[in-house]
Amino acid sequence: MRTIETDYLIAGAGAVGMAFADVLLTETDATMVIIDRHHKPGGHWNVAYPFVTLHQPSAFYGVSSKKLGTGELDKTGLNKGLNDLASGAEILAYYDEVMRHQFLPSGRVQFFGMSDYEGDGVFRSLTTGERTKVIAKKTVDATFLKTSTPSMHTPSFTIDPSARFMPLNDLPRVTEAPEGYVVVGGGKTGIDACLWLLEHGVDPDKIRWIMPRDGWLLDRENTQPTIEFFHSTMEAQAAQFESIAAADSIEDMFDRLEACGYFVRIDKDVRPKMFHGATISRAELEAIQQIKNIIRMGRVTAIEADRIVLEEGEIPTGPNQLHIDCSARAISNEEIKPIFLGDLITPQMVRSYQPVFSAAFIGHIEARFDDDKQKNQLCGVVPLPNHDTDFLRFTAAFMTNQYNWGQDEELRGWLKENRLDGFSKLVSEIAEDDHEKRSVMKRLRNASMPAMMNLQKFLGQLDAA
């Protein structure tokens, strides 16, 4: 077994591992060994479905040191008028360029693709079987936020061999039109499948959508980081805090968040029970609302030759129906652990909706501070949401972090200059005499503490229940 020495062993060359490594490369003189099962960097983007795109603006994605996307507004399609959303192919090319033209030429980064990390600093080449021991000062587990894609996902239900069934990745390979389509899964992947079918001319009445839980969605217009969207973006933040602060119950809070435009939902008559932080444009929402045959009978337990069995009933199917698996959850972490623990760093979310920014921020904290206790205080984990009420803990954790960051002048400066942050720079560029924009920020500040107090009250009610 050969041996390599380095400062940091980074397991995972996906978005999280690359964002963390980029900051260390920029802000320290550390050496790194990065390993990944895929042959190129990019993590799950290597196996994502062909028509996948980001669902937040490209400005929020990638590594801190290099811009992703055109920086222009989309001129066509269902994202028209909003900042561009990079495609999966663009993202893979981007990460390949970052690795080949920034990381490797530095002489401080070694990348081993097609390699399986076995633990204790040992990885095995998937092509040769050779095992390598990495002696590192610290190990970074950039795989902890588990990402599942349709092509890698094993369905939790049984499938009759005669049923036409495929992961979403295979949908563009359809050569014989079925009588109808059955989309299995109500999350962002299911939304993408439905939108793709509609964009390719499928009659909405020929789509059946199995949706175990409806979800609260975010209006993408409220997530734009450029100045022309200042009011929609920052007023949405202010309205969010005002809605939380004014609510007299958890249900009332969600009603207020929807009324102010922070949340949207597919069906006004169905109360969402899920929240994954997915964004959607108004045009996309209007498009999928054309689909009326939505099955809300719980999760699928079996797809048989002539019927689909669900937790709360069954529906007919047949050999001329094409079943599309969208039941994989994009990203999850059921366990939460300290991000900094001795010689182990476990990147997790420290800002809501932004795992990539979070990894970059964690890299900066690692570069700047020595004490694990102090680092963990600045990097409180923002738990990934699943159920609707997870929004409360998710939001409270981020607000706590944001407050703590604001007490440190150097961190405020770093946030303003880091391209993955987006909003800090937007706010810092408000002119002194722009009273309209400053009034929005005043609303946000005035509502933040009452909102936090109400969140804590609601969380106490949830914990006591």
pLDDT mean over 339-358: 96
- Residue 392 near residue 275, CB atoms below 8 Å: no
pLDDT at 332: 58
Residues 201 and 280 in one domain: yes
Token representation of residue 222 = 């409220």
The total number of structural domains in the chain stands at 3
C-alpha distances (whole Å) from 432 to each of 228, 231, 409, 443 are 18, 16, 20, 16
Residues 345 and 447 in one domain: no
- Domain contains 181: yes
Of 390, 408, 441, the domain-final residue? 390
Give residue 440's domain range: 396-464
pLDDT at 328: 81
- Domain contains 282: yes
Using the predicted structure, report yes or no on whether residue 456 has a pLDDT greater than 70.
Answer: yes
Token representation of residue 168 = 């979403």
- Domain contains 343: yes
Share above pLDDT 90 across residues of the chain, in percent, rounded to a whole number: 91
Q: What is the mean pLDDT of the chain?
A: 95
pLDDT at 275: 96
**Tens of pLDDT, residues 218-233:** 999 999 988 899 999 9
Residues 91 and 179 in one domain: no
Model confidence band, residue 30 (pLDDT cutoffs 50, 70, 90): very high
Residues 162 and 307 in one domain: yes
pLDDT at 276: 93
Model confidence band, residue 369 (pLDDT cutoffs 50, 70, 90): very high
- Compute the distance between CA of residue 45 and CA of residue 89 in angstroms, rounded to an integer: 8
Residues 165 and 101 in one domain: no
- Compute the distance between CA of residue 399 and CA of residue 41 in angstroms, rounded to an integer: 32
**Tens of pLDDT, residues 291-318:** 999 999 999 999 999 999 999 999 999 9
CATH code of the domain covering residue 316: 3.50.50.60
Using the predicted structure, report yes or no on whether residue 63 has a pLDDT greater than 90.
Answer: yes
- Domain contains 243: no
Please report which helix (H) or strand (E) contains residue 122, including its range: strand 122-125
Q: How many C-beta atoms lie closer than 10 Å to residue 92's C-beta?
A: 19
Structure pTM? 0.96
- Compute the distance between CA of residue 230 and CA of residue 233 in angstroms, rounded to an integer: 5
DSSP letter (8 states) at residue 73? B
Model confidence band, residue 425 (pLDDT cutoffs 50, 70, 90): confident
Residues 360 and 400 in one domain: no
Residues 287 and 425 in one domain: no
pLDDT at 110: 98
Residue among 211, 199, 183, 36 nearest 109 (CA): 36
**Tens of pLDDT, residues 150-181:** 767 789 999 999 999 999 999 999 999 999 99
pLDDT mean over 429-438: 92
Q: Residue 215: CB partners within 8 Å, gap ≥ 6?
A: 186, 187, 265, 272, 273, 274, 275, 276, 278
Question: What's the 3-state SS for 143-193?
Answer: CCCEECCCCCCCCCCEECCCCEEEEHHHHHHCCCCCCEEEEECCCHHHHHH
Residues 400 and 342 in one domain: no
pLDDT at 70: 87
